[in-house]
Structures are given as structure tokens and as C-alpha cells.
Chains A and B, each alone.
Chain A
Amino acid sequence: MSIIRVNGLKKSFQGLEIIKGLDFSLNEGKCIALLGPNGAGKTSTLRMLSGLMKPSSGSIQFQNENIGKDIRQYIGYLPQYPVFYDWMTGREFLEYVGKLGGLSNKDAKTRSIELLELVGISDAKNRKVGKYSGGMKQRLGIAQAVIHNPQLLMLDEPVSALDPFGRREVLELLEKLKRTMTILFSTHILNDAEEVCDEILFLHKGLIVESGTLGELRQRHQKSKIDLEFHEKPEKYLNHLSERKLISTLNVEGNRASLTVTNIEEAKKAIFHEASVHNWPLTKFEISKLTLEDLFMEVVQK
């Protein structure tokens, strides 16, 4: 069941086409990562989905609502750099946007307290937002995005500006929120996407270049890749293998070598054989899985 469906979405600024036609739909209850290098059009895409920006052409349809209807009430959005009224306290801001989102005064109050607790800044609830640290603002940002119980939560680079601890906590928060709403978040940090997301949309130069679940992507792009690490420079040992045409590409970096092979079983046998016969100073042997990073590089360089 898809929660939002996008058809032929395009956006241009002053004649320059930033988004060149997106077609996708997001499945309800999933966590989807919007990946892409800087300038790929991630923020513009999110802004259009959230109703902050009007597409130049194309349509966005939320569940069974009519195309072009105001869907802001179903959507929670956290911009990359959330800003608040510095003269309000964190709690006041939450109550304010809660009421604007349609909560009754009483509900806005209780929900604000709940959320401040959930995102872990309830100690600072009566402090002015102007005095908050970057991490606290990011958390307040998440709280304000979900205060009106949206069905779709969109976050623009929610963890890029955080330290490792903050990152961890925000990711855990997303895991929790995932149970009650669909989440779409943009990032260029691949680990994060791998950790919390079920599905991936790859955006590059305003187009979706790859999409699917992590498993599907792995299957599609899996290559037989072996990583080796030596005590010394590996070139001279690997010449033998190259001569036997087992290696299709070879990449050496310091004492490390990563090789793509045509037949993984044969290559494995050959390497072990060579290693024991010639007494290779081998410290590591690994048949590597395709990481998002590899995929990222592959897709971007295409």
C-alpha cells in the first residue's frame, strides 16, 4: 500500500532544471532513505513533497486524496537547518506548532511534554530556544515535526550535523518512530541509511538512478570481490594470479589489495594455494559484501 505517489515530478529554477522527472511511490510503514551526492536534488524533492515548494510539472498524490490537495496536515517535515523563534522556550514552540497543526490546547500541552521526554530534552523545556545547542535544536526539530501525528515524516539530513553520540540517539529515535509512521529521510551518510532503512532511493543529478530494498540492490550489483591485506607491498605476490587471468580488476592501496574476480571459488582456491606455497605474509582475507559505499560510487560515476 503506497502512502505517496509521485509522477513525472520536475522543478526548474530560472531555466535550470534541478529535478528532471521523478516517478516513485513510498510504501506505508517503511523507512526509506533518499541518497545522493550534494546537489543531487534531495532537498528540493523533500520540499516539494512537503508542500513547501510547488513543482514545475508533475503530480504528488497522497494515498487516496485528490492530486493537488493541501496535504500538509499528514506530513511532518524537518529541514536541514531547523530554526525556531529564539525568544520562545522549547515547550512553547512545540505547543505553538502543535496548535497550528490542529491539536486542541490541552492535547498540544500533553503531547509537547511527551515529545520533549521522548527526544530527551525535557530538562531544557523551559529554556529559551536561543540558548539551545545544535544537537538540542535538532531534537526539538524532530519533536516539532511529529507533534501533529503525521503519517509521513520527512527529514532532511537529520544526522549530518550531529556528533557520534547525537547521531546514535537520533537513529534510535527514528527506529522508534518507524513503528507509527512512514519515514523518508535524505542523507549522504551511507551507514545511517544502511542501519535504519528498509528501502533506498538513489538520486543523482535530479533523477532516480537506482531504487529498491537493500537486499535487491545487493543482488543486482553484487560482484565477486576479495580484499587482501599483507605485511608488505602486495604487488609481487599478485602477479602470479594476474597471469592466470583470474583477476578482472585490481586495486592496490598501501598494503591492501582489493580484487574483483571472475570466478570466486577458483580465485579463492588459487589464493590459498599460492599463499601456502609461497608463504605469503597475509594478514587478512575477506570476501566482501557490496556496501552502499561501493554502490554509491558506482552509481555516481556512471
Chain B
Amino acid sequence: MRQFFILFQKETLESWRNFKWIWMPISFILLGIMDPLTQHFLPQILDSVGDLPEGAVIQLPTPSAAEVLTMSLSQFNMIGVLILVLATMAAIAGERKSGVAAMILVKPVSYFSFVTAKWLSTLLMMWISYFIGMLSAWYYVGLLFEFIPFADFIQSFFIYGCWLSLVITITIFYNTFLKTAGLVGFITLATIILLTTLTGIFSNWLPWSPAQIMSYAGGSLVSEGLPEHTIETIIFTIVTIFILLSLSVVIFRKKELED
């Protein structure tokens, strides 16, 4: 346990020294407030840049607050996921490639702690950045449209956070057996895209697919109560996360000792 804490501390310090703790929250804030701002100022923006004939009247339906917050969520779902994968893809692969992993693992360090410390520290940073980003989105939506009840906001925040946690876990999983960070990033993104596409096509047959979480999180904002299958999907996602994490430890240990 002490060893896990030492490793975890090192990860946190590293992210601090290379400014991840600064740019990650900032990126999420930007992603979060982009849609509330553009949606609110869209008529003015079109007016000033649009090459419209004199006197043309644009009539846009004003989106509801819940719809705008859902747009912020889908920003996280596109660019947020990309940022998370890029920031995590070298977590273990980079250390193995440079050889510093071997310097550490020749000490009596447990492989379990080594992998889980990285996983948890990345997860911590993701949840904090994502929370700050989501909170800013909620605040701007409140200012420019109307305030969504905080409880609803928190509910959708936690629902969607499960999907982002899965993304981090998949990235760490690929890290344990691929040595090139770029390849880890590529394969992780490919997996996510494949999962999302398949879920989109067969959505009726895959109600529990983690890729549904995005629509459930949005749905929970728009309608009363939780959309159908939300709880099952979350439980399924969390179970998947722990299975992947255990596999990561096993594979990492085996891989390290082989070469």
C-alpha cells in the first residue's frame, strides 16, 4: 500500500511538472463553454460575418438549456476523448521504450501497484479536469440560457464520467503490451470508434454498450428520470473497467518478464 502511494505520488508530481495539471483542465473548460457561447451568439455571429443580403431575417429556434449542455457533452465526447487518449497513450509505453521502467521494476516493486498507480492518477486528473470543464459549461448555460437544476447536472456528470473512465482504462490496457505510444493512441481511438459505430448501427441489440452512455447522459438532462437501461449500462461499464484493469496487470507482468 505504501508502495502504491509512492508511485501514485510520483505520477501526480510528474503531471504537475509537465503542466498536464494546467492544460488539461483548461482544455476541458474551453470545450465546455464553446457551445453555450456559440449557441447564444449565433445570430450576432451570422449577422457580422454572414454574407447575407440587406434585410434578410434569420430565425433560429433557441435551443433549450439541456440541449446546449448536451452539446458540451458531445464536445467532450469528440475532442475531450482525443485529448485524454493523447495525454495517456505514453503512460507506460513511453517508460518502457526509454528503459526507465526497467530501472524501476528491478527494485522490489509490485507490477500491480505500478499499473494501478498510473491508472488511478490518470483517472484522477481526468475526473478533475472533466468536472471543471463540465461545471463551466453548466455555469455558462445558466448565465446565457437558464440554470439546470444542480442535481440533474451532477447526475449526467457522473453518468458520462463512466465512459471517459473506460476510455482511460482502454488506453492503459493497450499500454501494457504495445511499446509505441503512437500505436497505443491509434489503436485506442480505433477501438472507440469501432465501438461507437457498432453501437450506433445495432443500437437496438446493444442497449448495454458503454458507447450508449453519451446518449443516456444527454437523455437524463432532457427528460425526467433516467433513460431506460442507464443503470445496467453503467454497471456493465464499471465491470468492464475492472476486468480490463486486471488483464492489464497480468499482461504487463508477463510481457515485462518475457523481454
Contact = CB atoms under 8 A, between A and B. Distances in A.
A, B from the same assembly: yes
B259 A85 contact: no
Contacts of A238: none
A250 B193 CA distance: 74
Given A85-B14, A101-B108, A54 B100 contact: no
A100 B3 contact: yes
Contact of A83 (B3, B7, B98, B256): B98
A52 B256 contact: yes
B224 interface: no
A65 B252 CA distance: 25
Contacts of A84: 100, 103
Interface residues of A, number: 26
B6 A52 contact: no
A83 B104 CA distance: 10
Contacts of B107: 72-73, 97, 100-101, 148
Contact size class for B?
20 to 34
Interface string B94-129: 000011101111111100000000000000000000
Contact of B99 (A53, A83, A87): A83
B102 A79 contact: yes
Nearest to A92: B13
A136 to B, nearest CB: 16
Contact of A54 (B10, B18, B99, B257): B257
A182 interface: no
B113 to A, nearest CB: 9
Given A72-B106, A79-B99, A53 B6 contact: no
Interface string B153-170: 000000000000000000
B106 A87 contact: no
A97 B109 CA distance: 10
Contact of B257 (A53, A85, A97): A53
Contacts of B259: 13, 53
B106 A82 contact: no
Contact of B106 (A75, A81, A83, A102): A75
Interface string A63-106: 00000001011010101011111010000000011011110000
Interface in B1-57: 3, 6-7, 10, 14, 17-18
B139 to A, nearest CB: 34
Interface of A: 13, 50-54, 70, 72-73, 75, 77, 79, 81-85, 87, 96-97, 99-102, 144, 148
22 contacts: A50-B106, A51-B106, A52-B102, A53-B259, A54-B257, A75-B106, A77-B106, A82-B103, A83-B99, A87-B18, A96-B6, A96-B10, A97-B104, A97-B107, A100-B6, A100-B7, A100-B107, A100-B109, A101-B107, A101-B108, A144-B103, A148-B107
